[in-house]
Amino acid sequence: MKNVLVRVLMFAVGVPALIGVVLLMTQSYHLPFNLLIVAVSAISARELAQILAARPGSYRLSPAAAMLLGMIPPAATLLALFSETPPVVIPAVLTITAAALLGYQGFRRHETGFRRIIPAVGTSFFLLIYPGLFACYLVLLATLPYSTAAILVFLATVYLNDTLAYVVGMLFGRRNRKVVPISPNKSLEGFIGGFVTSVLVVVIAGILLPNLLPGAAWRRIVLGAAVGSAAMIGDLAESALKRSALVKDSGELIPGRGGLLDSVDSPVFSAFVFYYLYRVLFLS
């Protein structure tokens, strides 16, 4: 019960604060929100590096290096928006960073470090992609028409999914847990509750904001279903990493939820789904 109360309190405080950040400087590509995304990606990368290093004998990347790798992609994306640089700059930055990481390995001087080359490259590349590359799409939401509403609808679709999945699972899912062995506390009822919530959020948003989500209702249903599914998969994917590393949480930064990555795994994973599907369904 204490954990539930802490979650509710964090939701009551965190959601208004996040909405406030989204509403700040909307005319400047949502600069405060996107700076927050850069910071979140950096901290999440540091936590993920700790997860990857939790196994005995695993490669341990320094916290500073992990944070840098996590923040490079979203920071480059944000700079590209303000400099009005063509989108090709994003893969260019990723390629240059990856080439630098790989090329550096050719200059190792001691044989004791040679066996660490593959684990070092694998860990570094992984952090560059997740959360780094995935977080780029959170920044790119600022480029969509009616971007303020689009960002808020996306966040509501993801976080209400998570909240209702937790509540429905707690109330009705005690007998149907272990549906997914990688996260045994999750239940079938919880998955259904979260999925339906995501669809309803987008459908209702389409009624309230017809300019943002125009056209037939099936488009909104498809968007809500896809983003809701991606949000749940993102949560399970992070659970898989923690399960492999034999750790419960990614950290202790957020009371009642664990680390920051535990709270942003769903939006980070599902942002690209919202971004591309929105463009296909409502802008093409």
Note the pLDDT tens digit of each residue in 167-192. 898 888 777 777 888 888 888 999 99
pLDDT digits (tens, 9 = 90+) for 238-254: 999 999 999 988 988 88
Counted domains in the chain = 1
Of 84-88, 158-162, 166-170, where does mean pLDDT reach its minimum?
84-88
The DSSP code for 197 is: H
- The closest alpha carbon to 125, from 107, 91, 99, 98, belongs to 98
- Give the domain extent around 12: 2-283
Q: What's the pLDDT score for residue 239?
A: 94
- Give every CB contact of residue 231 below 8 A, 6+ residues apart in sequence: 157, 158, 161, 162, 194, 198, 266, 267, 269, 270
- The pLDDT confidence band at residue 45, using thresholds 50, 70 and 90, is very high
- Provide the whole-model pTM: 0.94
Give the model's confidence band at 99: pLDDT under 50 very low, under 70 low, under 90 confident, else very high: very high
User: For the chain, what is the largest distance between any 2 Cα atoms, rounded to a whole number of angstroms?
Assistant: 64
